[in-house]
């Protein structure tokens, strides 16, 4: 198998072999606009491209090193790890973070993932701090609409009916105006719930790069001519994804978010999608005190299967400095959590 960099005129070829929005050429171009360096590799067999891989390189403050990151790529083999080592050293990387888009049912993932994790550890990878959650709910959209509605939880079905009774309506507004509406609602959501979100500049750059790809869609839930909920979804291949959502505190009793999720499911079916990836959840035994428990419970109500990914592993390129980096990283996150707890 030949592994080589992809040229700028090979965008369509590269995209033909990716399986997740964060591995597309367009996503890489967007990340370039945020100041990152991008590398793209193609894995050829018999002269045909079999897999594409995109790596972003992020500067690490104070130590003149970078960190490579491969979100939702394929599972690399020994030769591919060797290529990533070489690429990482060219970018003076401390490590390359791997988060393979490989999952199994959470109830049976233990043994299936055990061999893969051993392979990674045997080839210089260590468990790293996750940027993506280890679990997600995935919904099979090949079922009929009637079957999908029947497998919703009774509470979810009730809430959808409440939203319809209150004449909540869902509209697509995949425009720059729609993005600004999302950003306005997102600002209220983050200030109310106290969680981290990307900056408006991040989303505006993302929109500019992805808007002509057909991959990004924006939906609004409207009640009495006011947008209560705004979501950004991605579509790639046979899968629809729900990465970003925001809601106001007004009229929460009309259950606009519940209807939004149901209409996104119906939209995915209309686009011939086979799967709906809800982009993250807690594990099989979620803690009700976890700040993300409400999101987990909300998504669970739509009847998807809980999937577990392999997890996050760092391909370590500098074994001497890496432990020091992880020690500093752990203390940094403890400090940030403490600041949030005391409200600084």
pTM, entire model: 0.93
CA separation for the pair 95, 313 (Å, rounded): 10
Superfamily designation of domain 136-307: Gcn5-related N-acetyltransferase (GNAT) (3.40.630.30)
CATH annotation of 2-132+311-342:
3.40.630.30
Cβ pair 5, 45 in contact under 8 A: no
What value does the mean pLDDT of the chain take?
93
Q: Judge whether 2-132+311-342 and 136-307 match in fold.
A: yes
Question: So what's the pLDDT on residue 344?
Answer: 45
HEC string of 202-259? HHHHHHHHHCCCCCEEEEEEEECCEEEEEEEEEEECCEEEEEEEEECCCCHHHCHHHH
Structural domain spans, the chain: 2-132+311-342, 136-307
pLDDT tens figures, 158-187: 999 999 999 999 999 999 999 999 999 998
pLDDT tens figures, 272-299: 999 999 999 999 999 999 989 999 999 9
Examine the pLDDT at 197 and tell me if it is beyond 90.
no
Question: So what's the pLDDT on residue 343?
Answer: 46
């Amino acid at each position: 198998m030949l592994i080589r960099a992809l040229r700028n005129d090979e965008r369509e070829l590269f995209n033909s072999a990716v399986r997740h929005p964060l591995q597309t050429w367009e996503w890489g171009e967007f990340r370039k606009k945020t100041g990152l360096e991008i590398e793209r590799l193609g894995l050829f067999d018999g002269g045909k491209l079999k897999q594409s891989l995109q790596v972003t390189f992020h500067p690490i403050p104070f130590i003149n090193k970078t960190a490579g990151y491969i979100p939702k790529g394929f599972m690399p083999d020994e030769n591919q790890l060797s290529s990533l080592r070489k690429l990482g050293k060219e970018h003076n990387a401390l490590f390359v973070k791997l988060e393979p888009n490989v999952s199994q049912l959470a109830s049976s993932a233990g043994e299936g993932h055990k061999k893969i994790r051993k392979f990674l550890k045997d080839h210089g990878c260590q468990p790293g701090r996750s940027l993506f959650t280890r679990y997600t709910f995935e919904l099979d959209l090949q079922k009929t609409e009637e079957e999908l509605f029947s497998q919703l939880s009774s509470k979810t079905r009730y809430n959808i009916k409440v939203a319809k009774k209150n004449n909540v309506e869902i509209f697509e507004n995949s425009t720059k105006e729609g993005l600004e509406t999302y950003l306005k609602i997102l600002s209220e959501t983050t200030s109310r719930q106290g969680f981290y979100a990307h900056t408006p500049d991040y989303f505006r750059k993302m929109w500019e790069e992805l808007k002509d790809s057909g991959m990004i869609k924006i939906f609004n839930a409207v009640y009495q001519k006011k947008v209560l909920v705004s979501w950004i979804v991605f579509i790639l291949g046979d899968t629809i994804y729900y990465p970003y959502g925001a809601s106001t505190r007004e009229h929460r009793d009309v259950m606009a978010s519940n209807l939004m999720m149901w209409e996104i499911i119906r939209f995915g079916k209309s686009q011939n999608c086979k799967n709906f990836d809800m982009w993250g959840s807690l594990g099989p035994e979620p803690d009700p005190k976890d700040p993300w428990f409400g999101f987990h419970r909300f998504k669970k109500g739509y009847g998807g299967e809980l999937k577990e990914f392999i997890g996050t592993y760092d391909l370590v390129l500098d074994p001497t400095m890496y432990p020091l980096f992880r020690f500093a990283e752990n203390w940094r996150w403890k400090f940030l959590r403490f600041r949030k707890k005391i409200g600084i």
